Amino acid sequence: MSELLDHLMQEASVWQGRRAASQHLSVEATGHPELDRSLGDSGWPRGALSECLLAHEGIGELQLALPLMRRVTERGQMVFWVNPPHTPYAPELNRQGVGLDQVVVVRTEDDGDLLWTLENCLRSPVTGLVMAWPGRLTARAIRRLQLAAESGDNVCLLFRAEKEAMQSSPAALRLKASPVSDTALHLDILKRRGGWPGQSCAIRLGDRTGLPEATAAESVVAGPWQGAGA
């Protein structure tokens, strides 16, 4: 029994209050120092779901994933965009240092197709990052995605509506994002595995972390938008 409890605590499956077990988690630095500090000097959990809950799209939420997108494509791994509300603007992503050969945009036809696509992306050994805009998900669907995420050693970011904060979720990390201004985004940590929630921070949009001065830009994806919702 003692060995089982020790194992669960090492895997951060048991709530330990302020004795955060983040040192045992496999994580990817977010690339935003303020957010990493708020997460206990941690980052995006690997092999688990992370949710970014938004009042509405287009508030700068893609800035959260930009540093990781750069690192993942530099490693030669794939970045999957599943059902993004707009078509990514390739020239701007390229200018930001994201390798376009490693970026794949997937459009699904229905909920069943969406779950199948996400599960296969999450389980694939070539995947480094999955970003998805799934809309409404049932608790059963989220559990399925969490199981798929656990089988892969990558990061999964689900961009969902703020109202979904009321729904319970097995996600390891839940953030609520709201705009402070045109140049800053406020983040509230609603849940984080292995530590207390309730922290908050602000990140500056147009973060130049890891970019040469000459290629730094104010936006991750700047028009012209194409596709649904343009």
Percent of the chain at pLDDT above 70?
Answer: 76
Whether 194 shows a pLDDT value over 90: the answer reads no
- Tell me how far apart the alpha carbons of residues 12 and 212 are, in angstroms, rounded to a whole number: 37
Size of the chain, expressed as the number of residues it contains: 230
How does pLDDT run across 59-106, given as a tens digit for each residue?
888 988 999 999 999 999 999 999 999 888 899 899 999 999 999 999
- Tell me how far apart the alpha carbons of residues 178 and 9 are, in angstroms, rounded to a whole number: 33
- Using CB atoms within 10 Å of the CB of residue 197, give its burial: 0 to 12 exposed, 13 to 18 middle, 19+ buried: middle
Q: Which CATH architecture has domain 26-215?
A: 3-Layer(aba) Sandwich (3.40)
Whether the model clears a pTM of 0.95, i.e. scores above it, the answer is no
pLDDT of residue 20: 42
Whether 30 shows a pLDDT value over 50: the answer reads yes
Residue 19 — very low, low, confident or very high, per pLDDT cuts 50/70/90?
A: very low
How does pLDDT run across 196-207, given as a tens digit for each residue?
666 878 888 764
- Tell me how far apart the alpha carbons of residues 132 and 107 are, in angstroms, rounded to a whole number: 10
- Tell me how far apart the alpha carbons of residues 215 and 226 are, in angstroms, rounded to a whole number: 24
How does pLDDT run across 97-146, given as a tens digit for each residue?
999 999 999 999 898 999 999 999 999 999 999 999 998 888 889 889 99
